[in-house]
Amino acid sequence: MAHTPLPGRAGWSRRSFLATMGAAALTVAACGGSGESESAAADISGVQAPVLDSLTGDERTRVATLIAKARSEGALNWITPIITDSKDPLIEAFKQRHNLPGLQVSFENLQTGQVTSRVQSEVTSRQIKTDVVGLNGSPSFFKTLKDAEMLENYRSPQLTAYQGADKFVSIDPGYWASPIAVQYLPVYNPKVWTTGVGSWYDLLDPRLKGKISWPGVPSSESALLMYRGLREVLPLSYFQSLKNNAPRIGVGNSTVATQMVSQGELTIAVTQSHTVHNTSQQLGVPLEVAFPKEGAVLDGWSVGILTGCPHPATAKLFMDFILSENAVQIMVEKQAATPVRDDVKMPAELAHFAPASPGAAHAIPVDPLADRKTMQASRDEFVGIFGG
Amino acid sequence: MTLDAPPRPGVDPAPVTPPTRAPRSGQGRWVVIALTWAATIAVVVPILAVLYESLRARTGLLTSVWSLDSYRALLSPRIYDAALLSLKFGVGSAIFATVVGAILAFLVVRTDLPGRRFIEICSYVPFFLSSFLLAICWQYVGSPNTGLVNNLLGGAFLNIYTEWGIILVIGIAHTPLAFLMISGALRQMDPALEHAARVCGAGRFRTSRQITLRLVSRGIISAFVINFVMGFEDLGVPLVLGNPSGIEPLPLRIWEVIQREFPADYNFAAAASVLLLTVPVVAFWLQSRLLGKRSRYTLSGKATAPQRMALGWAKWPAFAFCLLWTFVAVILPMIALVLTAIQRRWSGSLDLSLLTLDNFKAVFATSSYSLPVVSAFWNSFVLSIVVATVVVLLAAVVTYAVQRMRIRGGRFAEVVLSIPLAIPGSTIAVGLLNLLVQTPLYATIWIIAIGFAIRYIPYGLRTVDAAFGAIHPELEEASRVSGYGLGQTLRRIVVPLLRPAMVGGWLLLFILLMRDVGMSNLLYAGGNRTLSVALLSISSLQQTGVVAAFALMQIVLFLAVASLALLSGGARREALRM
């Protein structure tokens, strides 16, 4: 499990002298810790942490070594969308569990596009500043990084709890894994829309004209996956009929869409449901999530470590943590997201916001890593109906 | 390419005697020449980088080859529609801004309209906000179901998430610029021709139409062209109002390709930027052709102050029009923004049971966004101060090199340095991204600083150039005859005389830089977040009230700075020069 060095830079000689010199300087800086291996000598005699209490033998030594190195690294940079409401308890629990009270965790809650843009920029410029990246609905993002040798190969021991999860969400053991999952589902205020939603066909109700939103398929890969999944169970004519109801396409992320429902700007928003619970509480508006009988695509929130990241030991500890039962329980309780691990249970009071498990999600299977042509054809089909 | 400048009121006529050259020797001379050419190269290189990248195609995350694929991709119906939409936004908003700006300018400058000073100050307000901030305000004004207007009128009368809604908001955002430019032309106009027309029996309306309108036509055409270019390249309004309804003009498409799609296709963005660049260049070329034919109209050399036209019975309808403008452009969006910011949730009206100040606290809440907000403010503040200072000083150096030292190729450098006025900010940003992504400058505020400096140097040049024209070279000659070198002459003679114009120009640049949306959003890459980037991030992650609170705080900040500028009179005067 040696920390992988940055790949070569062949083919980049076209860049200017200044660019090359600058990049080289930054590459050296970014690779500061990349030469170290986990087995390298580290003084673990004084390392104590709650996480070590349940470990023995080699695994205890390995984790203690990582903790010792994490103390010297002193920081962790983590970027992701989705984890808005659970990030503070997650960070606190991570520090406490690994006895890293002085660790500086830089967390940036970005939109999906900002995450991918940031990572691409860091990879292209060889200025890796991010340690851990989390993203939902973008398995091709992780696949592209892996193919470019920019995703760290790290097999967390926690992966044993995810066996069989690849039936529901995208996982590539050693590169990325999904501890929780979300779905695009209809969200509505039951006081405003009393009819309820039992089927996707209920969205064709003419009373909803101009008052529903649909995810922005042209600019969101997770929305594209959702569309491809729904096309497995719904004919093209369904979407042509939906067009007659003038849905607003891509009003924003789940936070924005859910707010629009709570304010009355929209009657129904088809959006990822993980913000519904908290928005409902914050704004004092009752909100419901519908589970159409035809099903919906289950979208894993995946986590991976960037190759050449500045804090590799801390990143590995964090990867272990974020995939652990403890962390998944926090995310499920704070975000009302579906746990991918079998041993984490959804609290009963949250069960109407998200499926309790992947098996209960009535998930529509869809190949998340379909070739570019297939993806583009689906995107073009959607654009052909709803426009750009 | 020559860019026609609007009239420069308040600037003395050029000296009759031709200026003599500054000495051709000395260390200072070489510093001035080096700085001039460094600035020129800094403008050219990003444009070349855009052209270069547009001729490459990505073959992997880290590799690319020579190809015309990016240009072929421009032929897709999606890009065609996006370009057409941008044209529509440019033309529509320019017509709106120019017509409203011309009417306001005429009423304020040439008539006895009551409350002229109040109307004039209110007309500037949208100029000091970014179109992005204005669009956020208009979300709360014109949402179809929860907009303030629809709520007050009790029906779905206004939907701001439409092409017309976007044109309206861009138009409002740019009207102050048209007002500034046309009012400048009106103030400079020679009233003798109007007098002559009236003496010959022409009525008030006929005089206005046949004399006044024609005399200020240069200003009107310049205002239309610059508003067209700004509307064509506007990113802020489509980002807020177009995104939710699938309305995607070209700048938004470029932003999406860079900021939303993975892998970001910088090659395609470069090709689209070339397309984006073409339209303004053609527009400015047409403008110079058009205005060249109109050079027989003399706008300078007025002998007497223009007499104000008595509006008579039309006084109060005209005043009502101005009040309506003030209400629509300033008061209505501000009311909606304040109501949203002080309520727990927005429903299109004021609900006393929902009143709260928590939204303001949430902006700075230690557990969530405090660091981004504080660092964004600090970044914007530092950027604006540094870039405004550098641009004004550099402009002074370049102008001195061209006007006084008359260096070889100086006119060429001057033309090149004017080009960014015609280039969308996003084109420069794409060029810089491609150029600097592998350098230590990337993901720092300094890449944005370079972008800002390139983008705004024409504004600095116009400010200083106009002021230089008013300083007779004999003052510098006297300094040199007295034995002072170039450095001392600049420090003791030129800079003190230029200081008022430089201060005014600096204040205006500071405001323009603080409110910038397009460039900073494209060049943002973590760690270099500016105020507009922070607002965009918060608007996608936070509750509406928090977004409104943050926007309101920005507006208060901008207006405070703008008030200083207006009180000094400097910014307005310098805006007139641009």
pLDDT in tens, A237-285: 999 999 999 898 888 788 888 988 998 889 999 998 888 888 888 888 9
A262/B345 touch (CB, cutoff 8 Å), yes or no? yes
Q: Please report which confidence band the pLDDT of residue B95 belongs to, taking 50, 70 and 90 as the band edges.
A: very high
What is the percent of chain A with per-residue pLDDT over 90, rounded to a whole number?
A: 53
What is the CATH number that goes with domain A182-299+355-386?
A: 3.40.190.10
Distances (CA, A) of A341 to A42, A155, A181, A218, A346: 33, 16, 10, 32, 11
**Which chain A residues are within 8 Å of B540, Cβ to Cβ?**
111, 252-253, 255-256
- Nearest Cα neighbor of B453 from B35, B163, B150 is B35
**Residue that wins the pLDDT comparison between B367 and A228:** A228
Lowest model confidence (mean pLDDT) among B46-50, B118-122, B305-309: B305-309
Residue B208 in this model has a pLDDT that exceeds 90: no
Lowest model confidence (mean pLDDT) among A2-16, A59-73, B120-134, B236-250: A2-16
Who's near A130: CB < 8 A, 6+ residues apart? A77, A78, A79, A118, A119, A122, A306, A309
Helix axes A57-73, A312-322, angle to 10 degrees: 120
Residue A70 in this model has a pLDDT that exceeds 90: yes
Residue B558 in this model has a pLDDT that exceeds 80: yes
What integer pLDDT is reported at residue B125 of this predicted model?
Answer: 85
A147/B60 touch (CB, cutoff 8 Å), yes or no? yes
Residue B101 in this model has a pLDDT that exceeds 70: yes
Plot region of A387 (φ>0 → left; ψ -120 to 50 → alpha; else → beta): left
**Residue that wins the pLDDT comparison between A296 and B245:** A296
Average confidence (pLDDT) over A354-367? 89
Average confidence (pLDDT) over B258-264? 76
**B66 and chain A: CB distance < 8 Å anywhere?**
no
CA distance B19 to B42: 29
Q: Please report which confidence band the pLDDT of residue A228 belongs to, taking 50, 70 and 90 as the band edges.
A: very high
Number of residues in chain B: 578
What pTM did the predictor assign?
0.80
CA distance B463 to A109: 42
Lowest model confidence (mean pLDDT) among A280-289, B43-52, B178-187, B485-494: B485-494
Query: What is the average pLDDT value for chain B, to the nearest integer?
Result: 82
**B263 and chain A: CB distance < 8 Å anywhere?**
yes
Residue B1 in this model has a pLDDT that exceeds 70: no
DSSP A247: P
Residue A24 in this model has a pLDDT that exceeds 70: no
What integer pLDDT is reported at residue A243 of this predicted model?
Answer: 94
Residue A2 in this model has a pLDDT that exceeds 50: no
Average confidence (pLDDT) over B297-313? 63
B436/A138 touch (CB, cutoff 8 Å), yes or no? no
Residue B299 in this model has a pLDDT that exceeds 50: no
What integer pLDDT is reported at residue B575 of this predicted model?
Answer: 53
Mapped onto helix, strand or coil, the DSSP state of residue A289 is strand
A20/B438 touch (CB, cutoff 8 Å), yes or no? yes
Q: Please report which confidence band the pLDDT of residue A230 belongs to, taking 50, 70 and 90 as the band edges.
A: very high
Q: Please report which confidence band the pLDDT of residue B195 belongs to, taking 50, 70 and 90 as the band edges.
A: confident
What is the per-residue pLDDT across A5-20, written as a single tens digit (0 to 9) for each? 444 333 334 444 444 4
**Best mean pLDDT range from A12-21, B224-233, B341-350:** B224-233
In angstroms, how far is the first alpha carbon of chain A from the final one? 45
Q: Please report which confidence band the pLDDT of residue A4 belongs to, taking 50, 70 and 90 as the band edges.
A: very low
What integer pLDDT is reported at residue B566 of this predicted model?
Answer: 67
Give the per-residue SS3 of B370-390. HHHHHHHHHHHHHHHHHHHHH
Q: Which residue has the tokens 């509307």?
A: B231
B576 and B180 Cβ atoms separated by less than 8 Å: yes
B439/A140 touch (CB, cutoff 8 Å), yes or no? no
- Nearest Cα neighbor of B35 from B490, B384, B410 is B410
B544/A263 touch (CB, cutoff 8 Å), yes or no? yes
Domain boundaries, chain A: 27-179+300-339, 182-299+355-386
CA distance B551 to B495: 38
Average confidence (pLDDT) over B153-174? 92
**A154 and chain B: CB distance < 8 Å anywhere?**
no
**A279 and chain B: CB distance < 8 Å anywhere?**
yes
B61/A255 touch (CB, cutoff 8 Å), yes or no? no
Chain A CA closest to residue B81? A388
What integer pLDDT is reported at residue B305 of this predicted model?
Answer: 61
Residue A28 in this model has a pLDDT that exceeds 80: no
Q: Please report which confidence band the pLDDT of residue B419 belongs to, taking 50, 70 and 90 as the band edges.
A: confident
- The structure tokens listed for B319 are 């005043």
What is the per-residue pLDDT across B460-497, written as a single tens digit (0 to 9) for each? 887 787 777 767 778 878 887 888 877 788 788 877 88
Plot region of A285 (φ>0 → left; ψ -120 to 50 → alpha; else → beta): beta
- Nearest Cα neighbor of B52 from B431, B423, B417 is B431
CA distance B5 to A385: 46
What integer pLDDT is reported at residue B331 of this predicted model?
Answer: 94
**A385 and chain B: CB distance < 8 Å anywhere?**
no
* Among the partner residues A23, A141, A252, nearest to B262 by beta-carbon distance: A141
Residue B571 in this model has a pLDDT that exceeds 60: no
Chain A CA closest to residue B66? A14
Max Cα-Cα span within chain A: 70
What residues does A183 pair with on adjacent strands?
Answer: A298
Distances (CA, A) of B399 to B45, B393, B396, B463, B566: 21, 10, 5, 10, 26
* Among the partner residues B62, B145, B438, nearest to A265 by beta-carbon distance: B145
Q: How far is A56 from chain B (nearest CA, A)?
A: 36
What integer pLDDT is reported at residue B22 of this predicted model?
Answer: 53
* Among the partner residues B61, B248, B259, nearest to A123 by beta-carbon distance: B61
**Which chain B residues are within 8 Å of A114, Cβ to Cβ?**
259, 537
B262/A144 touch (CB, cutoff 8 Å), yes or no? yes
**B444 and chain A: CB distance < 8 Å anywhere?**
no
What integer pLDDT is reported at residue B292 of this predicted model?
Answer: 66
DSSP A363: B
Q: How far is A39 from chain B (nearest CA, A)?
A: 31
In angstroms, how far is the first alpha carbon of chain B from the final one? 17
CA distance A108 to A83: 10
Q: Which fold has domain A27-179+300-339?
A: D-Maltodextrin-Binding Protein; domain 2 (3.40.190)
Q: How far is A63 from chain B (nearest CA, A)?
A: 29
Helix/strand/coil percentages in chain B, nearest 5: 70, 0, 25
B256/A219 touch (CB, cutoff 8 Å), yes or no? yes
**Which chain B residues are within 8 Å of A252, Cβ to Cβ?**
243-244, 540
Q: What domains does chain B contain, in order, with CATH numbers?
A: 65-294+318-346 (1.10.3720.10)
Residue B193 in this model has a pLDDT that exceeds 90: no
Contacting A residues, span 285-344, partner chain B, CB-CB under 8 Å:
285
Amino acid letter for position A232: E
What integer pLDDT is reported at residue A303 of this predicted model?
Answer: 95
**B537 and chain A: CB distance < 8 Å anywhere?**
yes
B474 and B349 Cβ atoms separated by less than 8 Å: no
What integer pLDDT is reported at residue B88 of this predicted model?
Answer: 96
Query: What are the two backbone dihedrals, phi and then psi, of residue A268, each rounded to the nearest 5 degrees?
Result: -135, 130
Query: What is the average pLDDT value for chain A, to the nearest integer?
Result: 85
Q: Which residue has the tokens 């200081």?
A: B499
What integer pLDDT is reported at residue A329 of this predicted model?
Answer: 95
CA distance A172 to A179: 12
DSSP A162: G
Q: Please report which confidence band the pLDDT of residue B247 belongs to, taking 50, 70 and 90 as the band edges.
A: confident
DSSP B254: H
Chain centroid to CA A169: how far? 11
**Best mean pLDDT range from A148-162, B351-365, B507-521:** A148-162
**Best mean pLDDT range from B151-165, B328-342, B513-527:** B328-342
**Residue that wins the pLDDT comparison between B533 and B306:** B533
Write the ipTM. 0.72
CA distance B466 to B468: 5
DSSP A388: -
A210/B144 touch (CB, cutoff 8 Å), yes or no? yes
What integer pLDDT is reported at residue B467 of this predicted model?
Answer: 74
Q: How far is B148 from chain A (nearest CA, A)?
A: 12
Two domains, one topology: A27-179+300-339 and A182-299+355-386: yes
Distances (CA, A) of A69 to A74, A99, A311, A324, B474: 9, 13, 9, 21, 71
**A114 and chain B: CB distance < 8 Å anywhere?**
yes
- The structure tokens listed for A381 are 């089909």
**CB pairs < 8 Å spanning A and B:** 167
**B525 and chain A: CB distance < 8 Å anywhere?**
yes
B245/A216 touch (CB, cutoff 8 Å), yes or no? no
Residue B577 in this model has a pLDDT that exceeds 70: no
**Best mean pLDDT range from A18-22, B200-204, B246-250, B385-389:** B385-389
| Residue of A21, A117, A130, A375 to mutate, interface with B, max B Cβ within 10 Å | A117
